[in-house]
Structure 1
Amino acid sequence: MSRSQPIYNSNGQLDAKTMLEQYSSLVRRLAHQMIARLPANVELDDLIQVGMIGLTDAMSRFDIKQGVQFETFATQRIRGAMLDELRGGDWMSRSGRKHQRDIEGAVHKLEQRLGRAPHESEIAAEMGLSLPDYQDLLNRVRGTQLVYLEDMSGDEGDSDYLDRHVADTDADPLARLNDRRMREALVEAIKGLPEREQYVMSMYYEHDMNLKEIAAVLGVTESRVCQLHSQSIARLRAKLRAW
């Protein structure tokens, strides 16, 4: 049976129980896709719970006469419910964005000045911080992501900041083209990362390893992996902003 076909009961109405069971995996999949681009303070279970509410809403509003497949319709309602929840929860504070940009700015200046990837201690000094304070800042901006081309422009506090991080661009041909170009640029940028940070990015994104698993491979703490990940993202964002 096709996942995109809604299921009706004998009264000609959507069978709520069966539909919830059948499409709950869609909610989980969308939640996992979205949370990969969000800070660590966003809980996966919260997104799934809100997504299930979005699925229920989709079931109540779906009209097969509109000529749209239920899964397509439900995906929009589920993602919309998650976005609304994230906006309402102030998922990333203005100060958090500022810290993120401060790190990127320091990295960019040092790369221009040194002609190489700067060391942690050099970034800390550029920002006027001790190394422990800088590493603590890396932990606090944990979860910062760069995924889409649209994220490489705009001012702090843009009203569409959240949308540019987690919006679905699959249906937009220009976005898909931009995404491919971004990925090509990203591959090149990753090659310029320090070796250990390349390992972290590869294990995290290519092999879907969690922080505990990466920490075990590298022989460091999970907190250290978080720092390396955040620093890698800052380096990549600094490079790609000029792309």
Structure 2
Amino acid sequence: MLSVRNLHVQVSGVEILHGIDLDIRNGETAALFGPNGSGKSTLLMTLMGFPKYVVTQGSVIFKGQDITGLSVDERARMGMGMSFQRPPVVRGVKMRDMVAACLRREATEGEIHDMASAAGMVDFLERDVNYGFSGGEIKRSELLQLLAQDPDFVLLDEPESGVDLVNIAVIGDLINRLLQKDVRIRERNHSGLVITHTGHILDYVSARTGYVMINGRLSCGGDPHEILMTIKQYGYEECSRCVR
């Protein structure tokens, strides 16, 4: 579903990503580990098409089409969606209206209520988007919007960040719903890339492959749980030895 080839990315004239190669097949979920400042969020922002992140070399292929030059809106229409590490507050826009807008079609009140119920957000539908929400509530708010959007490819930037243990379980359930984890992998048409710093989300969301990013380069592709165990035991120093 997604192929990244020799991707080099600059921000404000400084190269952050250096020759990234990545493949995520239809129905698969990949986990991306790495220390702070290693370029993980830059990769997600680039894949989503934010103009601040300038591709100087390489390509991003989605559903067989080169999308390297496409805008955020164009990628969203093709079926890409993203959850941010620090989502913005949107004053003056109610959650109900945001969910309806994400559906991109005429939505019934029942549909909106059912989605909000799955995210534990029914009582938030008349509130401004993310205004006064706790960390866990903001994450659930974003995942509710993604459920409404129903993207084929989901980019998740540290979904467990700033979230307590109770909310992590709820968030894990929502991510599994987004990624169709209740469907056999051959029958799924949703895929994802999940950034995780702690690995806690992997207790709730299964990933087929894991990668480590060190200084803008990928290393240590393999089983995500084995990678996480290595990181916990030896730190990222061990991963830096096999940067590719």
Larger RCO: 1 or 2 (CA < 8 Å, sep 6+):
2
TM-score by length of 2: 0.23
TM-score by length of 1: 0.23
Larger Rg: 1
Q: Considering fraction of residues, name the structure with more helix.
A: 1
Q: Considering fraction of residues, name the structure with more strand.
A: 2
